[in-house]
Amino acid sequence: MIGVIADDLTGAAEIGAVGLRHGLCAEVVIAGDQGGDADLICVDTDSRSCDPVEAGQRATKAALMLHKSGAEWIYKKTDSVLRGNVTTEIEAIVTKLGLSGALLVPANPSLGRTVVNGQYFVRGQLIHQTEFAQDPKHPRLSPNVLELLDKPSALPLSVGKSSGALPASGIIIGEVASAEDVRMWAWLRNKQWLMAGGAEFFGALLKPGAPIPQSSVSHGKEMFVCGSASEGTQKFVTDQAQRGVPVFALPDKLAMVGAFDSTEVCALAASVVSALQAKPRVILHVGLRQVRDVSLAEMLAAHLVRVAEAVLRIADMEHVFAEGGATAVGLARCMGWRRLAVKSELASGVVTLSVVGCGGWLLTIKPGSYRWPESLITR
């Protein structure tokens, strides 16, 4: 069994889908211990927005659980643009498992995310000049990868090129301009170093295997819950509305008044359910432009999840599409979903999971910065 530690649900699911491509049966654990006979166990610590001490403790707990469960090796999945408590969690795992250091390769060149000369690029543009600079929780305000990360407490942090060898210890950020660079870093893997980073690096570390047949996605009633305010999300919502899909948003007043009582939640949920009786798809989204205030963004996300949960409790629907890690895990926790089996990958990072032991629910999720595949948009 291979163990993976991710700091959010979309990251855990993305790695599970990579495993599926390589012939591995994969599960995502949201709460409790791992179970079943999966070849790949991806633990979501939900720690991206924790304080550093708590994040390190959660990562350590997950590492110990996977180690005791017999994991042959452990991978630390990080956000591809290095948001969250990246170095804190890596250092905690390295220390607890008695390793020499960690090789961190976060870039995903197939998505245009590269690290060259210590600078992070997104589709050829320096990251601080993209919409990642507007992230309310983790704004990317510098292209320098060393400045995007917190300084480790003990291990030295440096940037390396794929032609180099690993030092005696430390955290090395691997530069990546192409898929070949990712593969070259994978050749340096050894048991005394923690491998960490994005989905493409994980795929390069796996042995080739026959892909597992992917389950078809049902075409019944479906709800999209969009917790992101990215440009891509706004375009998707506008496009769907033009196609006649009913679109529902949180009340504008929530940007100024935090109160959203249960009566208002139920009323909005009832409108969504009513629309689902006439249409096969509905969209539920925040409705506001990019929110800079972190506490307001978190409050809006929580309200969105409350409405989505109310809909799922009463609607005749089994498939929900959730955008953004916080939205997806918030909804899963409200519904009491603890373990998810990876069923199919609709596009890179867009993954369909089934809820283990909970009546046939399907959950398709993606990171907020990724796009829904065209096959979903147009159907």
Give me the mean pLDDT over the 292-315 stretch: 84
Same domain, 118 and 153: yes
- One-letter amino acid of 216: S
In this predicted structure, which of 67-71, 147-151, 287-291, 372-376 has the lowest mean pLDDT?
Answer: 287-291
Give me the mean pLDDT over the 138-147 stretch: 96
Q: Which tens digit of pLDDT belongs to each residue from 160-170? A: 988 778 898 99
Q: How many angstroms separate the CA atoms of 155 and 183, rounded?
A: 25
Give me the mean pLDDT over the 182-195 stretch: 95
Would you say the C-alpha torsion 29, 367, 360, 315 has a positive or negative sign? positive
Same domain, 87 and 167: yes
CB atoms within 10 A of CB 153: 12
Same domain, 236 and 201: no
Residue 217, domain member (yes or no): no
Q: Pick the closest to residue 148 from 220, 242, 79 (CA basis).
A: 79
Q: How many angstroms separate the CA atoms of 77 and 310, rounded?
A: 32
Same domain, 158 and 230: no
In this predicted structure, which of 13-27, 199-213, 338-352 has the lowest mean pLDDT?
Answer: 199-213
Long-range contacts of 260-269 (CB under 8 A, 24+ apart): 260/303, 260/306, 265/303, 265/306, 265/307, 265/310, 266/310, 268/307, 269/307, 269/310, 269/311, 269/314
Q: C-alpha dihedral over 290, 292, 295, 296, to 10 degrees?
A: -40
**What's the pLDDT score for residue 357?**
77
Given 179, 205, 231, which residue is the final one in a domain? Answer: 205
**What's the pLDDT score for residue 361?**
85
Give me the mean pLDDT over the 305-329 stretch: 89
Is beta strand 119-122 parallel, antiparallel or unpaired with respect to 247-249? unpaired
Given 180, 205, 230, which residue is the final one in a domain? Answer: 205
Q: How many angstroms separate the CA atoms of 166 and 146, rounded?
A: 18
> Between 66 and 261, whose confidence is greater?
66
Q: How many angstroms separate the CA atoms of 226 and 249, rounded?
A: 10
Same domain, 292 and 346: yes
- Please give the mean pLDDT across all residues of the chain: 89
For 54, the domain range is 2-205
Q: Which tens digit of pLDDT belongs to each residue from 203-259? A: 999 987 777 776 666 668 899 999 877 778 888 899 999 999 999 988 877 766 667
CATH number of the domain that 123 lies in? 3.40.50.10840
